[in-house]
Structure 1
Amino acid sequence: MRLSEGQQAPDFEALLCTGETFRSRRLDTVLDGGGVLVFSAFAFSAIAENWWKRYERSEWDEFDVPVLGVSRDGPYAQNAFIRSLDSPFRRFSDTDGTVSERYGLLTERDGMANTSTPFRAVFVLDDDRTITYAWIADDWIAPVPRKEVEEAVGKH
């Protein structure tokens, strides 16, 4: 079941990658008065690179709450991706898809045998993990509605 506004986002534990290190962290321990979770498919894909660069150009790293990525890539790939972009954002490594599945996003990829990834999605969470804004893409290339996300974060 996909999550929507007004629901409480599940807490989870996964490896949180900083570009240099990775450590197992619970979501609750890294939220700071709330947060933004951005689910994406593959690090180093053109779509991921373009969108994470756009989030930085849009100054999402200046939000009062952390912006955290979630993807199926392993921690070494996550760290290499963060370094390659010189990105200010941290990313959770959801290698087994457990986090994506708990958020109702995990799906098989057409034409990619035995490969599942999360739909691209953004969840804005308040300080008790209530979802105040949710966006889930209908396809693999639709742009994240950045202005809507920024407005939702501004309400905190």
Structure 2
Amino acid sequence: MTPTAGDQAPEFEALLCTGESFRSTTLDAALDGGGVLVFFGFAFSAIDENWWKRYDRAGWDEFDVPVLGVSRDGPYAQNAFIRYLESPFRMFSDTDGEASEAFGLLTEREGMADTSTPMRSVFVIDDDGEITYDWVADDWISPVPREEIEEAVADL
């Protein structure tokens, strides 16, 4: 079941990628006082490339809390994606799908045999690990409610 506002964020551990390196890191350690968790489908897909560029242009890297991505891509692909975008964001490599499953987001991709990814979603998490805002997309391309997310971050 996908957690919603008021729930504790499920804890997980995965490889956190910086664009140059990766290290096994828990969600709690990566957030270190709250943050934004963005689940997405595939590094290098046109859709996700577009969204991460939008987050950068919107100044999400200037939040007082980190913005972290999560996808099923391996750490080398995640690091290459971060470098390609010249992105200021770090991203979890959820190769085993444990983070996506912990958040109840793992879904099979239609027309892609035996391929599952998390649904596009955003969670704002406070310094106590409580989800203060949640959004899960109904499809793979609709825009995130950026202004709502930015308000939720401002309220942290």
TM-score by length of structure 1 reads: 0.99
Q: Deviations over 1:82-122 (max 9, x none)?
A: 00000000000000111101101000111000000000000
Aligned to 1:108: 108
CA distance in 2, matches of 1:27, 1:41: 19
Q: Deviations over 1:44-67 (max 9, x none)?
A: 000110000000000000000000
Q: Structure 2, unaligned stretches of length 5 or more?
A: none
Q: CA deviation at 1:149?
A: 0.3
Alignment of 1:65-144 (within 5 A): 65-144=65-144
CA distance in 1, matches of 2:99, 2:31: 16
TM-score by length of structure 2 reads: 0.99
Q: CA RMSD in A?
A: 0.6
Aligned to 1:61: 61
Q: What secondary structure, in the 3-state scheme, does the structure 1 residue paired with 2:134 have?
A: strand
CA distance in 2, matches of 1:128, 1:93: 24
Aligned AA (1:12): F
Aligned AA (2:38): V
CA distance in 2, matches of 1:138, 1:129: 25
CA distance in 2, matches of 1:115, 1:55: 26
Q: Stretches of 4+ moved more than 4 A in 1? A: none
Q: What secondary structure, in the 3-state scheme, does the structure 2 residue paired with 1:122 have?
A: strand
Q: What secondary structure, in the 3-state scheme, does the structure 1 residue paired with 2:48 have?
A: helix
Q: CA deviation at 1:32?
A: 3.0
Residue correspondences, number: 156
CA distance in 2, matches of 1:140, 1:151: 23
Give yes or no for the alignment of 1:30 onto 2:9.
no
Q: CA deviation at 1:11?
A: 1.2
Q: Structure 1, unaligned stretches of length 5 or more?
A: none
Aligned AA (2:56): E
Q: CA deviation at 1:27?
A: 1.0
Q: What secondary structure, in the 3-state scheme, does the structure 1 residue paired with 2:28 have?
A: helix
Aligned AA (1:36): V
CA distance in 2, matches of 1:26, 1:105: 18
Q: CA deviation at 1:20?
A: 0.2
Answer with 9-18 or 25-34: which moved more. 25-34
CA distance in 1, matches of 2:30, 2:68: 9
Aligned to 2:7: 7
Q: Percent identity?
A: 75
CA distance in 2, matches of 1:35, 1:150: 11
